[in-house]
Structure 1
């Protein structure tokens, strides 16, 4: 299998998994109440931190480890190019996790500050969390896989 085809396939898998996990964790944290508190400890904005970190970490580590194994066995081809991402898989995963957490808190905090909201209706809050999980996996997984598959 070519490297780009492998990246596309694994990115689709990562998007589905991270979107479903985002839904499950949203339900575990906020339940199915009528509204979700935006600010404070345990609030919606701060919850983007753990969500972003875990998606960034796991969307890098798991596909990266699988890609490393597939590359070693010769079932996928390396890709050409360069990357600015760390070479080590664990460091790359932690870096992507921190970036995901910072991005999640900053984007949600900025948007909700501008909107002036203290509470969010449940459905829009859930949909925004799903969209964030989807988008973060769609950005991080291919970048992390590409970094892993670059011929060294």
Structure 2
């Protein structure tokens, strides 16, 4: 990976981190706003809520950087990376695969973390944790997607 690739990867990762954090916080307020505490289990609980959050953050953090990176490589703005990705080349199939895996892993990690604690969490704690989780997931998935897209055939 060249210095130009590393710089581009850092920029896309930072953007994915920031956008995912903001969107996670906005949706947390939309879904849980007005509640003093949020249950861990049940239909409206945090474990179930990890499914759409993980899925959507991973889907958009894969799909958008893939399309943008491919366009920049095709236009010559960034050189193609001399590597091969193991991910599918179809952008939406790639995004769906990554999103499904992220949703499964996200629910598992959420369940493990939350079931060890209290049955309910204060809204402020939930908003903070969901924002950080969304940021970390979005940034790491954007990095993965960008690396893969840099190596896609043009």
TM-score of Structure 1 vs Structure 2, range by shorter chain: over 0.9
1:135 paired residue number:
136
TM-fit CA distance, 1:114: 1.9
Residues 16-25 or 81-90, more deviating: 81-90
Number of corresponding residues: 151
RMSD (Å), alpha carbons: 1.5
2:104 paired residue number:
102
Which whole-Å CA distance do the structure 1 matches of 2:77 and 2:11 have between them?
14
**Does structure 2 retain, via aligned residues, the 8 Å contact 1:4–1:79?**
no
| Structure 1 unmatched ranges of 5 or more | none
> Which TM-score applies when normalising by structure 2?
0.92
Which whole-Å CA distance do the structure 2 matches of 1:20 and 1:32 have between them?
19
Measured against aligned partners, the alpha-carbon deviations of 1:26-64 in whole angstroms (never above 9, x if no partner) come to 000000321111111121111110000001100011111
| Structure 2 unmatched ranges of 5 or more | none
Measured against aligned partners, the alpha-carbon deviations of 1:89-131 in whole angstroms (never above 9, x if no partner) come to 111100111112112111111111122x211111111111011
> Which TM-score applies when normalising by structure 1?
0.93
SS of aligned partner of 2:77 = coil
1:69 paired residue number:
71
Which whole-Å CA distance do the structure 2 matches of 1:83 and 1:10 have between them?
18
